[in-house]
Chain A
Amino acid sequence: MNMQTTTWVEVGTLSDIPRQGARCVKNGEMTIAIFRTTQDDVFALEDKCPHKNGPLSQGIVHDGCVTCPLHNWVISLSTGTAQGADEGETRTFPVKLDGETVLLGL
C-alpha cells in the first residue's frame, strides 16, 4: 500500500499574490505556481503547461482558468486540465488558507 501523507507548508500570505495573478514557489527542481482569484481563492499548479512547459504563473487569470503565456492554452486552476479542444493535464497541489497564511500541501 502506498501511504499518502500531506505536509502543509507555509509559503507566504495571501496579500503576497496579486488578485487575478500568481506567485511561484520553488521546491527543489520544481516550480509551483500559486494563483489567487478575484474572490481570494487560492489554487496551486505545477508551473508547467502540458503543451510545451510554458510557465503558467505568467499567464492571464480569468474565470477559474489561466491562459498560458506561450501558446494560449487555457488550463483549469482547480483541475489542471486543458480546456476546449486541447488535451493535457498539469499537476495540481492542495493549497489552503489559514487566515491570511497560504499553506501548500506537499
Chain B
Amino acid sequence: MTKRKLVIVGNGMAPGRMLEHLFEATDQYDVTIFNAEPRVNYDRIMLSPVLSGEKTYADIIIHGEGWYAEHGITLHQGDKITEIRRHERKVISEKGVVAEYDKLVIATGSNPFIIPVPGSDLPGVLAYRDLDDTDGMIAASEAGGRAVVIGGGLLGLEAAAGLKMRGMDVTVIHLMPTLMERQLDSSAGYLLQKELESRGIDVRCEANTKQSLGSDKVEGVELADGTVIDASLVVMAVGIRPNVALAQEAGLEVNRGIVTDATMKTSDPNIYSVGECVEVGGMVYGLVAPLYRMAKVAAEHLAGPSDAAFAHAETPTKLKVTGCDLYSVGDFAEGEGREDIVLRDAQRGTYKRVILKNNKLIGAVLYGDVADGAWYNQMLVSGEDVSEMRDTLIFGQAYQGGGSVDPLAAVAALPDDAEICGCNGITKGMIVTAITGKGLTSLAEVRAHTKASASCGTCTGLVEGIMGITLGDDFVIPAAQGMCGCTTHSHGFVRRMIKAKELKSIPAVMQELEWTTAEGCAKCRPALNYYLVADWPGEYVDDQQSRFINERVHANIQKDGTYSVVPRMFGGMTTPDELRAIADVADKYNIPSVKVTGGQRIDLLGVKKEDLLPVWADLNAAGMISGAAYSKGLRTVKTCVGTDWCRFGTQDSTGLGIKLEKALWGSWAPAKLKLAVTGCPRNCAEATCKDIGIICVDSGYEIVYGGAAGLHIQGTTMLGKVATEEEVMETVCALTQYYRETGFYLERIYKWAERLGYDHIKEVIYENLDERKAFAERFAYSQKFAQVDPWAERVAGAEAHEFSPMATLNMEAAE
C-alpha cells in the first residue's frame, strides 16, 4: 500500500510536536518538510538563555538530524515554499522543488513587527525572532556599547536582560506606562521595573520611538520628545504578526491569521494549519502551550476520524529572566462581581494578587514569590469553589490554615542609614542604638534622647514602629488611624516613608507600604499624588487620574455638572481691559452668573465643560491666567489699598500682596491656602482670619497665620515681626514650604500648626534664619516646575480628552 503524502510548510515547534503525536498514532504518511531556516527544529522559547549565554544552540535542538532519518522525513532546509497550487495539490519552492500532497499543513509562524519609523532598515537594527537574530545580537554585544531594546513586553525584556549579561549597556523603551502591561498589573510592573533597574538596565516607559539614527549603521534612537539615546544595536521587540502571505496568495480564508475551525482545518479541507500563523475561534496565539494543543488536535485529525477540538484556555505567562520571578494567568481585569485579594510584602519585594468571581479563582498575578502559581492555575482550571479557604488563599498552598501579615515589615526593611526624622537628621540606626544602649521604653524618652519625632512629629508612627521592632512585645504601638480603607498606615507614616525609602510613584508607595487594594481609592490616591508632587519636584509626573475633577480640569464643578471659572487677579487688582474681556467672555458664552468672591476675584458660574477651552483662550488673550480657585494650593492674596490711597495706610499693602501672589501662585499644598495683606491694624483685608496674613504697621510687618473662617472660626497667631518686604517674602515662602512638606492631605494650616505646635513652628521658621532660608530655597526650586498656567497648557492642547465628548449620537436607547 502506498503511503499518503503529507507536506508541511515550516519546521518550528508546533509542526514538530504535531509530527510526534502523528507518528505515535500512525505510519500512513510520507512526510516532507520545507523549512525556510537552514536548520532542524529547535526550541524557540529557549533563545533567551542562548542570548544570555546560559545555554548554546546545541542545548535547545528538539529534533536532531537522526530523528528525521528515523521517520523517513524529507527535510528541505533553507528552502521556502513560494506557491501552493491547490487544484493540483502541489507546492513549489524557491529552489524549484515541486512536492505533491494529499494533506498539507501550513506552519509558517509569525513575523516580527517592525515599527514603521525612519531608520528601521539600518544595519544594526534587529528583530528578536530566530537563531539568526540571536546570533546577530551576540555578535553585536561583543563590540560592547549601548543596546536599545524597543518594547517592554516578554520578548523585549528577555532580550534586554540577555544583552546586559553579555556586557552591554541596555536601555528599554516602552510605549505604555508599565512594563508587560498585557500580563501584569501596574504593581507587578513596578516591581519588575525596579528589579531590572537594580541590574543597571535603563527603563523608560511612556516613551515613543521617533526614528533610528545613523547613516551606514545604526548609531542611536530618537524619541518623540526629542531625547536621543546613543546605541550600537537596536532590537525591536514590539510584537509579532502571523505570517499569512502564502495562505493568502493561495486563496485560503485569512483574517488576522489563517482561519481554521476547531479541528485546525483551513477553508480548504486538505489543508491544515498550526502555530502562530493560525486564527482559531477568533484568537491568535503566541505562547507555546496553546500551540502544542493545536498540534495535538491536528495530528489526531490527520491520523483518522477524531472528535478532538481546540478550545481556548488561559495560559500562564512566565518571564525567562534569571532572578525575575513573575507569573500571571487568567483574567485580572475588573468586572462584575469580582473580588481582589492582595498581599504585598515590601521587605521581600513580593506581590501576590488573586481574583475571585462567584467563589472561584479566575486569575492570579504573582511577583517575587511564584511558588504557588501552579497551585492557583490548577484551581483556575478546575474551577473549584474556594470559599472554604478564602481567608488564607493568598498565603499559598503551604499556609492553608495559618499565616498572617506583618504590619512592621516595611519599617524592618529600612536600612540603618535611612533618615527617619527629617527635621533633626536622625537615622533608624541612631534610634535603635539609643533604644538598646540607653534602655529607652517610651516615645517620650526616645524623643528626649534622640530628638526623633520631637519637631514636626510627622515621623512619630515610624519611630513607634522602630521601637516595636527593637523592643518586641515590651512596646505596644498605639493604633494610628489609617489614611483610608486601603491601608492601616497613617498620613504621617506614609509621608515619612516616601522620603525615607525614596518612593517616587503611586504604585511604588502602594507596593512598598503594602496597600491592601490594587489601585487605592478616591481618598488615598489624591493624597499620595500630592505627597509625591510636593516631595519630588521636577521628578514626579503628576497623575491626572489621581486628582479630583476640579484640579484635573482647572475649574470648579457645580451641582449641575457645569463649571465655574475664576481668572487670577494678583492682589485683587484688576484693570478696565481685564473687566471688558471678562464681560465679553460672559456674553459670548452665555455665562449665566457673574459673582464677586470673598477673595477679591470675579467668578464666572455655569460654564459648560465644552466651553472651558475657548473661555480660557479668551481670558489668556487678555493676559489673565487661572485663578486656581479650585486647587488644594495657593488660592488668593487679598489686599487693601494701603499707602496708595488710604489715609491710614502704613505700607504698600497692595504691592506686597501682588508680590506675594506672584511668588506663590501655582504651588500645591495639603489644603487650600488663602492669604491677605492689610495696610494697617484696622484690618480691612481681613488678614487675621486667613491661613497666612500680613499686618502692615509703621515699623514693619507682622506675620500671622493659622486663622480659620469656615466651619471653625478662629483668629490667627503671631509668627513674628519683620522689618522689610524681602523678609516677609522669605518667611511666608518658608512657612508655606514647611506646611507643604509636613502637612497631611486636606489638613488646613491651622490644624497643622496645632499638631506641630505654634512655638515649634516659630522656632524653625522665624527664629532660625538658616532654616528659614533653606525652606524658602526649597520652595523657590519647587515653584520652577509649578508656575505654569494650566489654562494656557490646555488651550495649547494638553489633556484634550477632558474637554470634548468622545462622540455625539442620536439614537433611541433600547428599553
Task: Tell me the A residues contacting B by CB distance below 8 Å.
Answer: 2, 4-7, 9-12, 16-21, 23-28, 30-31, 34, 37-41, 52-55, 58-64, 67, 69-70, 72, 74, 76-79, 93, 102, 106
Using A58-B561, A60-B546 as known contacts, list a sample of 7 further A-B pairs with CB atoms less than 8 Å apart, ordered by residue number in A.
A7-B811, A17-B801, A27-B811, A39-B185, A55-B557, A60-B525, A64-B335
Q: Does B241 contact A (CB under 8 A)?
A: no
Residue contact B525 to A18, C-beta cutoff 8 Å = no
Cα A7 to Cα B332 with chains together (Å): 28
In the complex, the answer to whether B545 meets A39 with C-beta atoms within 8 Å is no
Count of chain B residues near A, Cβ 8 A? 43
- Annotate B544-577 by CB proximity to A: 1 below 8 A, 0 otherwise: 1111111011000101010000000000000000
- Verify B806–A106 contact, CB threshold 8 A: no
Q: Which of A34, A39, A55, A102 contacts B561, CB < 8 Å? A: A55
Q: Give the chain B neighbours of A16 by CB distance below 8 A.
A: 801, 806
Bound Cα distance A7, B801 (Å)? 25
Q: Does B383 contact A (CB under 8 A)?
A: no
CB pair B334 A77 closer than 8 Å: yes
Q: State the CA gap A9–B809 with chains docked (Å).
A: 9
**CB-nearest residue of chain B relative to A40?**
B333
Shortest Cβ distance from residue A71 to the other chain B in the assembled complex, whole angstroms: 10
* CB closest residue in chain B, given A66: B522
Chain B: interface secondary structure? loop
Does B814 interact with chain A (Cβ within 8 Å)? yes
How many Å lie between the Cα of A21 and that of B177 in the bound state?
15
B525 touches A26 (CB 8 A): no
Is the pair B522, A72 in contact by a Cβ cutoff of 8 Å? yes
Please indicate the chain B residues that have their CB under 8 angstroms from the CB of A106 in the complex: 809, 811-814
Complex A-B, nearest 7 residue pairs according to Cβ-Cβ distance, in ascending order: A67-B522, A64-B334, A78-B336, A23-B806, A39-B333, A20-B545, A58-B549
Inter-chain contact A62/B522, CB cutoff 8 Å: yes
CB pair B811–A78 under 8 Å, yes or no, is: no
| 24 A-B residue pairings within 8 Å (CB atoms) | A9-B807, A12-B807, A19-B177, A20-B519, A20-B545, A20-B546, A21-B544, A21-B801, A23-B805, A24-B805, A25-B809, A26-B805, A26-B807, A27-B809, A27-B811, A28-B812, A38-B186, A39-B332, A58-B553, A60-B525, A60-B526, A62-B517, A63-B340, A106-B809
| Bound CA span A26–B805, Å | 7
Contact B808 A39 (CB under 8 A): no
Flag if B332 contacts A18 (CB, 8 Å). no
Asked whether B810 lies within 8 Å of A64 as measured between CB atoms, the reply is no
Task: Kindly supply a per-residue 1/0 record for chain B positions 520-545, scoring 1 wherever the CB is within 8 Å of any chain A CB and 0 otherwise.
Answer: 11100110000000000000000011
Chain A contacts for B550, CB-based, 8 A: 69
Q: Which residues of chain B are within 8 angstroms of A61 by Cβ–Cβ distance?
A: 545
Chain A residues within 8 Å of B338, by CB: 64, 78
Q: How far, in angstroms, from A104 to B815 measured CA to CA in the complex?
A: 15
B784-815 contact mask (Cβ, 8 Å, vs A): 1 or 0: 00000000000000000100011111111111
Chain A CB within 8 A of B337 CB? yes
Residues of B within 8 A of A54 (CB): 561
Once A38-B186, A70-B557, A77-B334 are accepted as A-B contacts, the answer to whether A27 and B813 lie under 8 Å apart by CB is: yes
Q: Kindly provide the distance from the CB of B802 to the nearest chain A CB, expressed in whole angstroms.
A: 8
Q: A62-B519, A69-B557 are in contact. Are A38 and B806 (CB under 8 A)?
A: no
Q: How far is the CB of A104 from chain B (nearest CB, A)?
A: 8
Q: Closest B-chain residue to A20, C-beta based?
A: B545
